[in-house]
Structure 1
Amino acid sequence: MIRDDALDALPVRGALPALTEALERHGTAVLVAPPGTGKTTLVPLALAGLVGAGPARRVVVAEPRRIAARAAARRMAWLLGERPGESVGFTVRGERVVGPHTRVEVVTTGVLLQRLQRDQELAGVDAVLLDECHERHLDADTAAAFLWDVRETLRPELRLVAASATTDAEGWARLLGGAPVVTAEGAAHPVEVVWAPPARPVRPPHGTRVDPALLAHVASVVRRALAERPGDVLCFLPGVGELARVAGLLGDLGDLGDLGDLGDIDVLQVHGRAPAAVQDAVLSPARRRRVVLATSVAESSLTVPGVRVVVDSGLAREPRVDHARGLSALATVRASLAAARQRAGRAGREAPGVVYRCWAEAEEARLPRFPSPEIRVADLTAFALQAACWGDPDASGLALLDPPPAGAMTAARAALEAVGAVDAAGRATGRGVRLARLGVHPRLGRALLDADAPDDRVAEVVALLGEEAPREYGDDLAGAVRRARRGGDAYARRWAAEVRRLRTVRGEGTARSAAPEAAAGAGGRGAAAGADARARGAAAGADAAWGADDERVAGLVAALAFPERVARLDGGSYLMASGTRAELAEGSALHGAPWIAVAVADRPLGRVHARVRLGAVIDEDVARAAAGALLQERQEVHWADGDVVARRVERLGAIELAVRPLADADAGLVRGALLEGLRQEGFGLLRWTPEGRVLRQRLAFLHRHLGEPWPDVSDDALHARVQDWLEPELSRARRRADLARIDAREALARLLPWASGEAARLDELAPERITVPSGSRVRVDYADPERPVLAVKLQEMFGLERTPEVAGVPLLVHLLSPAGRPAAVTADLASFWRDGYRAVRAELRGRYPKHPWPEDPAAAEPTRHTNARLRRA
């Protein structure tokens, strides 16, 4: 029996006429409805004609999470007075509850994507409602883009509704071709806001680390809320670890000390991996008061009965990818304003409520408006494969609110090429299509298809890598599989169901039948397909030699899924093929293994190296086979320890497998190494005679003051024109000693402007020596190209009033004492004779009486001799 009273009480009913009209006229609509209005339950029933007077239609509702999909289907079935699987059913990964008369099917966005790839027309579906669009999950954004493509090209009659309580309505309206925006009024239950910041500053989150002081504060706010307000308490925290920590801090809530005895209170933890029984208990009315600790899964699409109070920690988890290290992880961030509104709305679903926000009111303005779109921050390998299978490898033709970052797409395509999922142009191969339909990440799909080991064992390892295992399972992948196999917890039960599913999909074909598909799709057997073949061959040999034990299968699967993370022990850490170093935790069962395959890693705060969170022991043969695309043997010639080092190296990515000296290194590589040596150590490696140094200084002076055609002879300029002046000597050199035999002056002379004839004026414009009044030819010092120096004895310049010049630049004259020490420095001789000479004469005449010190130096005869010599002359 339909529960009309409950349906009539849903506020979204008032928006149904406008929504119906929008869909009739445009075929698309954006529905903005606050939490608790019934957008997830009443709207699909109305679209399907199960309530009201509309025609019968088949409706698909897409939810971002499995728990929300199940809950929405059960709620709708309850409203109709039925059980799930009759008029309303649901499909999530590993579970399908539908019947022959199902008209509304609730699915996860991942399931919807799989369905679209198999049947682009969505035959038999009349309308699709994309719920909770504001969360901007990658699967949801991708599904929306595909659905718009289907509507535009194949199914113009397909109705699309984007729905959320807090969303970028204008952006979604533009994306859906100018769709009308329909707004529903919210439930008439106000929610009071109580600001409850910590008394003392707490450290901001880093990675997945949350300051324990903040968690202690959240627990204290929960206790305060229980004492101050009636009803159940829903507390939002960023992750499973924080749920457990706060649950432990709450302890026994029966006695709250000074706050009084509130009776027995149940503490429940709800998250995406929570047991179905716990999820059902949370979503069902309870006899006793409850504290429900939840991650973001409880933000939307769920009504937790009895909740009148929300405690919001203000934190959320978002995916992040470190492309430089090849690591994916979750990061703890400040929750967005949209998320904060969604969370607060949970308190007003059934009655007036209150939200305790664990931050200061002044911080509100600094919160982001919406969560970071997953397409901007996540690993895009699965998205890139979906786009390639859709026929749009670079996703440029997809209707997306945010385009995928170019760097992330490049990394994703490289990963897909490595497993043979796409060809060089990015188009999906037959193998890629098969990988896309497995319902796991393409990396895990590659391992599922290619590991030659029993189906059960391979499926077990892939299932464990497909969903984060509890921390207490440890970092040994094989040990974690054995722990899950023993059962006894909620994770193990979900893992067993996924193992059964993976065993089935793996049994639909073999890796041997998938390899020819990849070759055909790529137009031939490329490097990736060859690498996969080598991996399968090595795996088969390993299986025969070792038997299908847990350690070997775990290592094989991890290496096939993450070939760039095969790692060899190198000193106190492991060097991965990607070049990233990783360390094991103290007490790890993997310690001492020469080779491991790293399945999960992160980089903790303050550490330079990554930390292995889950890995498996392998040997070099498995590493070579699994990472065959990274295997190469090449000549490596470089400058090291002051000379050319030439060797033949076999590498697995960054890992050196074998090294041999190389006597006949490629001349081009040797030349490059010598140039690197010159860049590192400078042109002092060449043979610089005094004449060579002076030539470089003279050229630097002319280039500074006259410019072209006189060459720039700075280090950077000489490196840029090395082929113009250092050949052919450089091409004949093989080592440092050969560089030391190259005459730098002879080589540098090649840069003189011979073609224009200006080279002949070098001695005229920048002479090495000039004749001074005494008749001496004195060397000009060009060490400072701004102002060359003429160092000459003072008596030799008598009678000269105009300062000597070169290329129109006055020299800086260092007037020397008879002992050769500077007595004065001037760039204006006339001024010196007039004003400065008198003081120099007074100081030096007594010290050097044998030398002439006339009163009028401007009129005196220049000389390089003493007074006695002059008298004899």
Structure 2
Amino acid sequence: MIRYDALDALPVRTALPALTDALDTDGTAVLVAPPGTGKTTLVPLVLAGLVGGGPARRVVVAEPRRIAARAAARRMAWLLGEKTGESVGYTVRGERVVGRHARVEVVTTGVLLQRLQRDQELAGVDVVVLDECHERHLDADTVAAFLWDVRQALRPELRLVAASATTDAEGWARLLGDAPVVEAEGVSHPVDVLWAPPARPVRPPHGMWVDPALLAHVASVVRRVLAEREGDVLCFLPGTGEIARVAGQLGDLGAVDVLQVHGRAPAAVQDAVLAPGERRRVVLATSVAESSLTVPGVRVVVDSGLAREPRVDHARGLSGLTTVRASRAAGRQRAGRAGREAPGAVYRCWTEAEDGRLTAFPTPEIRVADLTAFALQAACWGDPDASGLALLDPPPGGAMAAARSALTAVGAVDSIGRATELGVRLGRLGVHPRLGRALLDTPGEGASVVALFSEEVPRDYGDDLAGALRRARRGGDAYAGRWAAEVRRLRAVSGESSHPRTHDRRSAVDVQAGPGTGDDRLVGLVTALAFPERVARLDGASYLMASGTRAELDDGSALRGAPWIVVAVADRPGGKGHARVRLGAAVHEDVARAAAGPLLAERDEVHWADGDVVARRVERLGAIELAVRPLKEVDPVLVRGAVLEGLRQEGFGLLRWPPEAEVLRERLAFLRTHLGESWPDVSDEALHARVDEWLEPELSRTRRRADLGRIDAGQALARLLPWASGEAARLDELAPERMTVPSGSRIRIDYGDPERPVLAVKLQEMFGLQQTPTVAGVPLLVHLLSPAGRPAAVTADLASFWKDGYKGVRAELRGRYPKHPWPEDPATAEPTRHTTARLRR
């Protein structure tokens, strides 16, 4: 029996006439409805004609998470007074509860994506509702783009609704062909905001790591709330590990039940959370409870302020979830959960000042996630670069290039990005293309290993995948049950998608019969096939991956000491340059070589290392050196490149620079500065650019560092002089090494500063000179020295100095150096380099 009292209480019913009119007129609509209004439950029932008397239609509702899909279907069935699967059913990966006469089917976006690839017309479906589209999951964005293509090209009658509690309504409306926006008013109660930051600063999250001090603080805030407030408590935490730790810190709360809800929670726990409880409850939840689920009885929210989002570390070739500060929009969604049924409160575990610095909205997954699976879906759809897809945010070019490279490596796309036959098969497996290729290359038992990656392996399983496989086989926990179901699913789909072994993976199956048979070898093989660039060899205290990234194991790891491993999941701890292995498997070297065969190469390497030319023949597996032998016969071209590399690294100081060579370089720099491009640029950058012109033929005869030290840099630099124009002959005229001063001495000019060369000369030798001497028209900076050779004055204007500055110098130095002449009028005095006594003789 239909529960009309519950249906009539849903606020979204007032928006239903406008929604149905929009769909009848335009075929598309954007529905904005706050949480708790019934957009997920009443709207599909009305569009399907199950309530309200409308025409009978088949409606598919796409939810971002499995837990939300199940909960929505069960709620709609309850509203109809039926069992799940009759008029309303659901399909999630590995589970389908849909009867023959079902008119509403709730699916995950991943399931709908697979269905679209198999049947682009979605035959028999009249309406698709994309729920919670504001979360901007990659699958949801992709499904929306594909559905718009279907409506434009194949089925203009297909109705599309983008529904969300808070969303970029205008953006979605544009994406769906200027669709009408329908807004539903919610019934919300006031929510008090209390700021409850830790007493002492906590360290920011990094990777999957969260400061234990913050989790301890969150647990203390939950205890505080239980003492201060009434009603159930909903506490938001970033992941299952943090949920478990906070649950452990709460301990025994007496008459209060502590429930843990996340995407992997057992069905019984999910049902308990979504139904009113007889006792007071503390519900520890991930972001799944922000908008997809209604948790009755909640009056208080405790918000840790953290969330998990996918990220790619392109520098290390690693991808996975990372902990981030939740956005302000997420904070509003979470707080709103406290005011669904009555006035409530939210305790935020950060300061009000910090809140203003948070990002406004969650980062769209397409901007930050690994796009390999997305790129394969786009290629299978017929749009390899996704340029023709209706997306709110275009995929980043760099991430798409990396995805294309990964797909090419596993044979999923051809040279221009089109999906191959294998790529189409991989796209239908429902796993990452890497794992799909490993699954197809290890028929049968490979499914048991690939299934381990279907969701996050529990932390108490450890970091050794072989151990995790044995633990899952023993059963006894919820993860093991889901793993077993996924193994069955993978065996079924991989059997349908079997393909002949290809030459580039010829040894994938062959090596299974080698040494170390059993779980360890199987797990190592499958993981290495999925992540060939992450096979790694022990190198000192860390492992070097074939990709070039270094990784470390935690203390106590079951993998410690293994000569070779393959890294499946890793992150980068704060302040460390190396990755940290979260999940991996030990492998034999032959397995590593077989799995990463395309990375195996032997080549001659001649480069500059440790201060000299190194020539060797190296066998490598990517960045891993397998064997090294010295080269006796070396290609001169390679040697020349290594020598140039050494000059770039260590500079031209490797050459021999006699004093006249250094002076020549300074003189040329001076002329370049003041006379322009007719004179050569002798900066390091310019000399590197013209090395062929000035260092040949010496460079062609150079084989090692010692040979460079025998090259006279001055003789080589002379080749750069402007001989063709004839200007080279004027070098000594324009920038002479020495200048004759009034005393007759020839004094060396210092060109160290190309802007203003220096002439350092004893003061008495400049008597009688009225004008400051110049070179190439540039006045010299004259350092006038005392008889002892120490600077007495510096001037660029001799006439002015004789008139004004000399008197002070004379007064100071005449008594100290009485044997030297100190005339009253130096401008007319006789210059000399001798003492007064010698002058008298």
Q: Shorter-chain TM-score: what band? A: over 0.9
Matches within 5 A, 1:182-193: 182-187=182-187, 190-193=189-192
Contact 2:196–2:221 (CA under 8 A) maintained in structure 1: no
Which residue in the other structure is 2:546 paired with?
577
SS of the counterpart of 2:522?
helix
User: How many angstroms apart in 2 are the aligned matches of 1:585 and 1:557?
Assistant: 23
**For 2:811 and 2:726, how far apart are their aligned partners in 1?**
51
Task: Summarize deviations over 1:790-832 as a string: whole Å, max 9, x none.
Answer: 3445554443322322111223344556666656554444444
Contact 1:84 1:97 in 2 (8 A): yes
**Between 88-97 and 827-836, the greater mean CA deviation after superposition:** 827-836
**Aligned equivalent of 2:4:** 4
Deviations 1:462-502, CA, capped at 9 Å, x for gaps: 10122111111011110110001000000100110001111
Residue 608 of structure 2 is aligned to residue 609 of structure 1: no
Distance in 2 separating the partners of 1:81 and 1:233: 29
Rounded to whole Å, the distance in 2 between the matches of 1:16 and 1:241 is 41
Q: Among 378, 382, 385, which residue is 1:391 paired with?
A: 382
Q: 1:763 to 1:196 in 2, by over 3 A?
A: closer
Q: How does 1:494-573 map to 2 (within 5 A)?
A: 494-512=482-500, 515=502, 530-531=503-504, 533=505, 537-546=506-515, 548-573=517-542
Name the counterpart of 2:305: 314
Which residue matches 1:523?
none
User: Partner of 1:238 in structure 2?
Assistant: 238
> Take 1:229 and 1:699, find their aligned partners in 2: how far apart are those partners?
83
Q: CA deviation at 1:512?
A: 1.7
Task: Find out whether 1:713 has 2:682 as its counterpart.
Answer: yes
Write the mapping of 1:840-855 to structure 2, written as runs, cut at 5 A: none
**Residue 490 (structure 1) aligned with residue 478 (structure 2):** yes
**Whole-angstrom CA distance in 1 between matches of 2:397 and 2:557:** 38
Query: Is residue 770 from structure 1 mapped to residue 769 from structure 2 by the alignment?
Result: no
1:373-410 Cα offsets, whole Å, 9 max, x none, are 11122211111111121122222221111122222222
Q: 1:470 aligns with which of 440, 451, 458?
A: 458
- Kept in 2, the 8 Å contact 1:193–1:355? The answer is yes
**Residue 257 (structure 1) aligns with:** none
Task: Give a deviation string over 1:407-461, Cα, whole Å, max 9, x none.
Answer: 222222222122111223222222111111100111111110113xx61x31111
User: Which of 430, 434, 437 is the matching residue for 1:439?
Assistant: 430
Please give the alpha-carbon distance, in whole angstroms, between the structure 2 residues aligned to 1:838 and 1:338.
Answer: 78
Deviates more, 1:685-694 or 1:58-67: 685-694
Q: How does 1:444-459 map to 2 (within 5 A)?
A: 444-451=435-442, 455=444, 457-459=445-447
Deviating more after overlay: 495-504 vs 330-339: 330-339
Partner of 1:806: 775
Q: Structure 1 pair 847/469, CA: closer, same or farther in 2 (3 Å)? A: closer
- Deviation by residue 1:316-347 (Cα, 9 ceiling, x = unmatched): 22222211112223222333333333334434
Shift of 1:9: 2.1
Give, as a single letter, the amino acid of the residue that structure 2 aligns with 1:477.
Answer: L
Q: Is 2:88 aligned against 1:88?
A: yes
Name 1:410's counterpart in structure 2: 401
Task: Kindly indicate whether the alpha-carbon contact (under 8 Å) linking 1:237 and 1:312 is maintained by their aligned counterparts in 2.
Answer: yes
Which region of structure 1 is more displaced relative to structure 2, 45-54 or 823-832?
823-832
The answer on whether the counterparts of 1:34 and 1:345 sit within 8 Å (CA) in structure 2 is: no
Identify the residue that residue 527 of structure 1 maps to in structure 2: none
Preserved CA contact (<8 Å) 2:198 2:214: no
Change (3 A) 1:693 1:96: same
Q: Distance in 1 between matches of 2:315 and 2:600?
A: 20
Aligned to 1:66: 66
Alignment partner, residue 110 of structure 1: 110
**For residue 77 of structure 2, what is the aligned residue in structure 1?**
77
Q: In structure 2, what is the Cα distance between the partners aligned to 1:611 and 1:5?
A: 55
Indicate conservation of the 8 Å contact 1:202/1:211, yes or no. Answer: no
C-alpha separation in 1, matches of 2:561 and 2:298: 52
Q: What is the distance in 1 between the residues matched to 2:805 and 2:170? A: 82
Question: Is the alpha carbon distance of 1:791 and 1:312 closer, same or farther for their aligned partners in structure 2, counting shifts above 3 Å?
Answer: closer
Aligned equivalents of 2:799, 2:395: Cα separation in 1: 73
Aligned to 2:148: 148
Equivalent in the alignment of 1:593: 562
Please name the residue that 1:212 is paired with.
212
State the Cα distance separating 1:755 from its structure 2 match: 2.7
1:526 maps to none
Q: Does 1:752 align with 2:740?
A: no
Question: Is the CA contact (8 Å cut-off) linking 2:771 and 2:799 kept in structure 1?
Answer: yes
Check if 1:653 corresponds to 2:644: no
Which residue number in structure 1 is paired with residue 712 of structure 2?
743
CA drift of 1:605 comes to 2.8
Q: Deviations over 1:523-567 (max 9, x none)?
A: xxxxxxx53x2xxx3333322234750000000111111111111
Structure 1 CA distance for aligned equivalents of residues 235 and 839 of structure 2: 107
Find the counterpart in structure 2 of residue 672 from structure 1: 641
The separation in 2 between residues aligned to 1:772 and 1:196, in whole angstroms, is: 81
**What is the CA-CA distance between 1:749 and the residue it aligns to?**
1.7
Residue pairs, 1:373-392, within 5 angstroms: 373-392=364-383
Structure 1 residues 272 and 803: CA distance shift in structure 2, 3 A? same
Given the superposition, is the C-alpha separation of residues 772 and 153 from structure 1 closer, same or farther in structure 2, using an over 3 Å criterion? Answer: same
2:470 partner SS: helix
Local SS of the residue matching 2:656: coil
The CA distance in 2 between the partners of 1:404 and 1:150, in whole Å, is 21
What letter corresponds to residue 291 of structure 1 in structure 2? V
Report the residue type matching 2:372 in the other structure: T
Given that 1:334 and 1:367 are in contact with CA atoms closer than 8 Å, whether structure 2 keeps it comes out as yes
CA distance in 2, matches of 1:683, 1:341: 62
Residues 723-776 of structure 1: per-residue CA shift (max 9 Å, x gap) = 232233223322222222323222212222223322222222112333333444
The equivalent residue for 1:638 is 607
Q: Which residue of 2 aligns with 1:132?
A: 132
CA distance 1:131–1:823, shift in 2 (3 Å):
closer
Question: 1:134·1:370 contact (CA, 8 Å) conserved in 2?
Answer: no
Contact 2:671 2:735 in 1 (8 A): yes
Whether the 8 Å contact between 1:195 and 1:361 is mirrored in structure 2 is no
Q: Note if contact 2:191-2:338 (Cα within 8 Å) is conserved in structure 1.
A: no
**Once the 2 structures are TM-superposed, how far is the Cα of residue 230 of structure 1 from its aligned partner?**
4.3
SS in 1 for 2:140: helix
Aligned to 1:325: 316
Q: Shift in Å at residue 861 of structure 1?
A: 4.5
Which range moves more in the overlay, 225-234 or 408-417? 225-234
Pair 474,809 (structure 1): closer, same or farther in 2 beyond 3 Å: same
Structure 1 residue 604, shift from structure 2 partner: 2.2
Contact 2:450 2:526 in 1 (8 A): yes
> Would the aligned equivalents of 1:475 and 1:612 in 2 still touch at CA under 8 Å?
yes
Cα deviation digits, residues 616-654 of structure 1 (max 9, x gap): 111211111212222222232222222111222222222
Q: Note the alpha carbon deviations across 1:662-716, whole angstroms, 9 max, x for none.
A: 2333333322322222223322222333332222121111112222212221222
Gap regions ≥5 residues in structure 2: none
For residues 206-250 of structure 1, what are the alpha-carbon distances to aligned partners after superposition, in whole Å with 9 as ceiling and x for unaligned?
333334343334334434444454443332222112222222222
Separation of aligned partners in 1, 2:621 and 2:279: 60
Please, which moves more after superposition, 270-279 or 781-790? 781-790
Asked whether the equivalents of residues 208 and 571 of structure 2 are also in contact (C-alpha less than 8 Å), the reply is no
Percentage of identical aligned residues: 82
Q: Retained in 2: the 8 A contact 1:385–1:416?
A: yes
Q: How many residues align?
A: 840
Counterpart code for 1:605: G
Root mean square deviation of aligned Cα = 2.6
Alpha-carbon shift at residue 47 of structure 1 (Å): 1.1
CA distance in 1, matches of 2:575, 2:742: 71
> Of the candidates 245, 248, 259, which is equivalent to residue 268 of structure 1?
259
2:607–2:645 Cα contact (<8 Å) kept: yes
